[in-house]
Amino acid sequence: MRLADRLSIPPEVMTRTVGEETVILDLATGTYFGLDPVGARIWELVGEGKSLGEVCEQMLEEYEVSREELEGDVLRLAEELAGRGLVRLG
């Protein structure tokens, strides 16, 4: 996964926010994934069609975090979600 990549969310994947967490769910496969508020913001920006690099640029304006740390977190989350079939490349 690279910062230039854009991800899409398959139509069968749904999210709901409860309390301070967001749950991603693919009912057809029974796959679940929980996101904290920062993860939920990444998910939201990915859903808007931004590349992972653009997600990082937006979040650097919103959070006090180093670029290096943020980019690592975004790439790790993207790879984990892709591994579970909750996002697709392109």
Partner 1 sequence: MAELRRQPARQQSPAGRPPFHTWAFPDGTLWTEFFRSESGYVLRFPDLADFEVSADGSTVTCFPAPEVPEATSQHLYLNQVLPLVLSKRGKLVFHASAVEVAGGAVVFAAESGRGKSTLAASFAVSGYRFLTDDGLVVEPTAGGHEVLPSHPSIRLWADSEEALIAPRVDRAAALSYTSKSRFLAGEDVRFCDQPRPLRRVYFLGDGSAEVIQFQPLRAAEALVEWVKHSFLLDVEERPRLASHFDQVARLASQPIHYRLDYPRRFEDLASVGQAIVDHAREEIAAA
Write out the residues near partner 1 by the rule CB under 8 A: 11-12, 14, 16-19, 21-23, 25, 27-28, 30, 32, 34
CA distance 71 to 60: 10
Give the angle 62-14-84 at the CA atoms, nearest 5°: 85
Least separation in angstroms between CB 30 and partner 1: 7
Residue placing its CB nearer to partner 1 in the complex, 14 or 89: 14
Instruction: Please state the closest distance from residue 44 (CB atom) to partner 1, in A.
Output: 16
Closest to partner 1 by CB, 36 or 69: 36
